[in-house]
Amino acid sequence: MIVTTVDDSLVKDLESVGELWVRRDVPMAAHTSLGVGGPAELYVEPATPGALAAALRLLGDAGVPTVVLGRGTNVIVSDAGVRGAVIATHPGLQKLSLAGSRVVAASGALVGTLVHLAADAGLSGVEGLAGIPGTLGGALYMNAGANGTCLADVVETVTVLCPDGSVQSLRRDEITFGYRFSSLRAQRLYVLEASLRLSTSDPARVHKRMYEVVTTRCQKQPLSARSAGSIFKRPPGDYAGRLLEAAGAKGRRIGDAQFSTKHANFIINLGRAAAADVVKLMAWAQQSVYEQFGVWLEPEVCMIGEGMEVLGRQDCAAR
């Protein structure tokens, strides 16, 4: 049981905010794609960017540790749970709109929905992200990318809530992006919405490319299993999957957590996996790859909750 950081008066203040759903002790296993994790002390779902901003201000003023979660597709949550608050931008913040070649999307909008909307409108630039299951906010934080495409390529502006409670609109040249990195994350700027500038194209051609991307993804990755996506980042000049497979990771299992036999950089939940099982597998993999190849693999997934600081960071907004 985690020590409470949330008093009743704060909960009442949050509940008084319009379009904000507030609950206590919500099991995070039900809100993550891997299906592991103990309870969040407080679980908050805003339905509008304004409600998200209000919740973040109230929690910040109260000094309550806060994690912003998207669809929970790239996270591992501790079995002990999350001290403080988890704010879920999905499913409440999914608004998407088109204006010429520009797409404006709220932080909880699904990347897949965004990709399909763009393709239907004959807009190119994000079809390489087809099949990525997360939300726009988390994808921006991590600069999600695949198949030669990343979000940094198409970002025009990002509207964020700053640590001082102010709302700002940042131009692309005011944001630094790198491999699975953005200054949004480094500066703890919470994404409210973003504008993406795409290019006009033939809808049939964009849909064809989407189909090719998704087909390849299905062939190579265990998409039908419960997982958190790629576990480790790609090391310079190599691939985590190749190193893990060479180290004997495929099929290795602790409890109900197992390295996929289809792709070595995925850990899947066979049914009743615990976060502790996943962390032990990750630690084994890091040590094995280092001993055999001299490469230390860094987690790509966000490690959230009590006791998860050893392998990763908690200062990320998850997809």
Q: What is the DSSP string of 71-108?
A: SSSSEEE-TT-EEEEEEE-TTT---EEEETTEEEEETT
Which residue is it, tokens 């190749």?
242
Distance separating alpha carbons of residues 28 and 36, to the nearest angstrom: 7
Q: How does pLDDT run along the chain (319 residues), one tens digit per residue? A: 444 678 899 999 999 999 999 999 999 999 999 999 999 999 999 999 999 999 999 999 999 999 999 999 999 999 999 999 999 999 999 999 999 999 999 999 999 999 999 999 999 999 999 989 899 999 999 898 888 889 999 999 999 988 888 899 999 999 999 988 999 988 989 999 999 999 999 999 999 999 999 999 999 999 889 999 999 999 999 999 999 999 999 999 999 999 999 999 999 999 999 999 999 999 999 999 999 999 999 999 999 987 776 544 333 445 5
Instruction: Judge contact between 143 and 152, C-beta under 8 A.
Output: yes
Helix (H, G, I), strand (E, B) or coil at 306: coil
The CATH code of the domain at 224-304 is: 3.90.78.10
Candidates 1.10.3720.10, 3.40.50.300, 3.40.50.1000, 3.30.43.10; correct CATH number of 8-88? 3.30.43.10
The alpha carbons of the chain give a radius of gyration, in whole angstroms, of 19
Catalytically active residues are 180, 230, 300
Q: Per-domain residue ranges for the chain?
A: 8-88, 96-205, 224-304
Q: What is the pTM of this model?
A: 0.88
Number of Cβ within 10 Å of residue 166's Cβ equals 10
The CATH code of the domain at 96-205 is: 3.30.465.10
